[in-house]
Amino acid sequence: MTHRHLAALLAAALLAGGCANLDVPRADSYPATGQKKARAVHHWDVLADDVAARVAGKIAAWPAGEHPIYVTVPDDSSFNQGFLKLLRVRLLDRGVAVSAVPTGVELEVQTQVVQHLSATPVRLPVPLPFTMLATGVGVWRDWQTHYSDRYLLPGVATAIGLGAGVALDLTQRHTQGEAAGGPTRTEVLITTALKSQDRYLAGSADMYYIEREDAALYRPEPPAVPPPLPPGKTWKVVTP
């Protein structure tokens, strides 16, 4: 069979395969972007200060102290209670009048945890006994103890271990950013809405990665289980 015949058969096979596919858009990825990971109360404070700055900018033209703001959260989750305290302080720091009782202007905070249930992709790099010391510098612990005596000279083993450590360090920073552990399948959406009666005056929306184990911090506290009732007595009525 000549090259021309092979090319013709290949073209026919590709055409037949294309006809068998559904005429639907292919799945494309979004352009690479960055998203922060909330891992400490300090990160909540940074967000509170940013929200306070945006609110102060929106109401800068209001007469000073004339329309105090009442800040609310929907439940008693650890995040909402902590964020409420931090946001009040940051608003006061920026000269915003904050009320301790409901007023005509409300700043409402809403929190939504999103957990993606699709198959979790492989997270690179694969965890190894590797300790990061600084950018591009690392030590592969126990390499010499486990391998050099059996297979390699100590100097060669150490050089290979350090080289692999640097490669893993650079790969991790390239694929996962500065936050150790990389992206997660759990996120939190935090929105604020500045309202007056039936009107929305301003708002904000922020998204963060969180560790799956930290999702409980953003959910309401489970209701307390009442204590069990004391055992009762059974009385039997009989005729005389």
- Asked, as a colleague might, if the bond just before 125 is cis with ω within 30 of 0, I would say yes
* 3-state SS class at 87: helix
What residue segments make up the domains of the chain, in order of their start? Answer: 41-119+182-218, 124-178
pLDDT one-digit tens code per residue, 53-103: 999 999 998 888 889 999 999 999 999 999 999 999 999 999 999 999 999
| 143, 150, 159, 175, 177 from 136: Cα distances, Å | 18, 28, 15, 14, 13
- When comparing pLDDT for 143 and 89, which is higher? 89
Q: Indicate the CATH number of 41-119+182-218 among 2.40.128, 1.10.10, 3.30.70, 3.40.50.
A: 3.40.50
The larger pLDDT score, comparing residue 15 to residue 82, is at 82
Q: Compute the Cα dihedral for 207, 213, 217, 223 and give only its sign.
A: positive
Cα(219)–Cα(204) distance, rounded to whole angstroms? Answer: 20
User: In the prediction, which pLDDT does 207 show?
Assistant: 93
Helix (H, G, I), strand (E, B), or coil: what is residue 201?
strand
